[in-house]
Amino acid sequence: MLSGCLYSMIPEESAPAASKAPDTSGVSEDLLPFYGQEIDWSDCGPSFDCADITAPLDWENPGAGEIELAVVRHRAGGTAKGSLLLNPGGPGASGKGFVRDSLDYAVGPDLIESFDVIGFDPRGVGESTAVTCYDAEQMDQYLYGIPKSPRNTPAWEAELDVRNKKFGAACDENSGGILPFVTTVNSARDMDLLRAVLGDTELNYLGYSYGTFLGATYAKLYPERATHLVLDGAIDPSVPGLEVGTTQALGFESALTAYLEDCVSGSECPFNGTVDEARADLSALLAAVDRNPLKGGDGRLMGADTMLTGIIQALYSQDYWEFLSQALSGALQGDPTQLFFLADAYNGRLEDGTYEDNQTEAFNAYNCMDYPVETDPAAEAAARLKIEKGAPTFAPYWNAPDPCLQWPYPATGAREKIAAPGSGPILVVGTTNDPATPYEWSVSLADQLEHGVLITRVGEGHTGYNKGNSCVDDAVESFLLDDTVPEDGLRCG
């Protein structure tokens, strides 16, 4: 998990740096009030400034209402080359929190020195005009509640459909009319607005995970301004939702295999024997918990779905493997405390039972508007069979009803390839055993983009830049700092 920065000494506050004039070149008259706005920065920490930017609710009808975008700027340590906008993924993750609380994790020191690093909460997210659905108690029931009906039965599906319908209705009722406009296309347009009011004529951008889809969408809409884009841990924009879920199941099973290979070779593994025997023991544990949930110290019950969430959280990074072994050891002894910790970290649930942000609400809002619902029984059956064969550990718990079937608005997005002709070189970074955004998606996106350049990080975990691989880091930073485009297909072991 991303951790906050602790300051043992806080220097005297300084006034925010002066802003450059907004870039309003080529802007239509109805958008000038937005593109021409001056940023009113306020100091919000050492070298940090914060502001709210006003954007249209509906970019197709700019006079129909307004939203606010929460932005943070970390001022360059030296002479700024311009602004570098960041998105940490999700959809639903806070870019403002990513930069403000985890700057060193987000970018390397050379970029911090040379750019005004910009974090922003996309529309619907965090401190921007946000999607709001449930209070903490209701969210607990939604995320951790255990269905009364037996798994994979018609009654179970009907129970989850009712739950999802109630959730969607609450989001619609409590979000002030923004749900139809929480889309990646609108967010990309917001990002161009941010570029302009920051005074930049071209976009410097680093997007992780879902942030690669946001960046690719930006390049599609504004190719002439997409001059320095790095897309790390790519989503393939042409892949439909059903295939996304299937590929991720296989990706997490592959990451699980890597974890189990490491685990059984050590002395602290909760499982004995071979990798296959360890996988069978873990499957047995999940099945046992599915039949008889474990009770946590705070009174919550852990079923198999929550246990799987905790396991998935730990598979995002090899750094979590040791903790996952400890958590599974506890669960085998009837104590789910550490697995609850992992699941809570994934869901953004704090120790006091509140939620640090609205990532779950925003995640559903974006995905349900971006991905058309698929209802072809043959395709669903094929996906189910593929998961059963390729991801046997995850298969029994993977194919729940799509919550977007019950979303109050139909999707407006389309799953299609993005070429972005006319853009500058776009770096796509893929990690060979990335469980969340499998490597094949990075290969595909780099191939789709007319000026895509693929960088391969050979290794484990989600995303590749600033993860300790100097080959990847040097390529990304040389591109952003010096306009040096790496060789397409660069492979970093």
Residues designated catalytic? 209, 434, 462
**322: its two tokens:** 């040791």
Q: Tell me the C-alpha distance between 122 and 370, whole Å.
A: 15
Q: What are phi and psi of 114, to 5 degrees?
A: -105, -10
Contact call for residues 50 and 75 (beta carbons, < 8 A): no
Helices (H) and strands (E) in the chain, counts: 16, 12
Give CA separation, 103 vs 114, 264, 334, in Å: 14, 35, 38
Contact call for residues 455 and 486 (beta carbons, < 8 A): yes
Q: Tell me the C-alpha distance between 25 and 199, whole Å.
A: 11
Give the sign of the dihedral formed by CA 98, CA 99, CA 103, CA 109.
Answer: positive
* Half-sphere exposure for 119 (CA within 13 Å, toward CB): 27
- Would you mind telling me the total number of residues written for the chain in this entry? 493
Q: Tell me the C-alpha distance between 200 and 6, whole Å.
A: 31
Q: What are phi and psi of 119, to 5 degrees?
A: -110, 140
Give CA separation, 12 vs 77, 80, 139, 417, in Å: 16, 21, 40, 50
**42: its two tokens:** 């306020």
Q: Tell me the C-alpha distance between 255 and 318, whole Å.
A: 9
Three-class SS state of 458:
strand
Contact call for residues 105 and 466 (beta carbons, < 8 A): yes
Say if residue 437 is exposed, middle or buried (CB neighbours under 10 Å; 0-12, 13-18, 19+): buried
DSSP letter string, 241-294:
HHHHHHHHHHHHHHHHHHHHHHHHTSSS-SS-S-HHHHHHHHHHHHHHHHHSPE
Three-class SS state of 484:
coil
Three-class SS state of 31:
helix
Three-class SS state of 130:
strand
Nearest to 321 by CA among 265, 277, 280, 262: 262
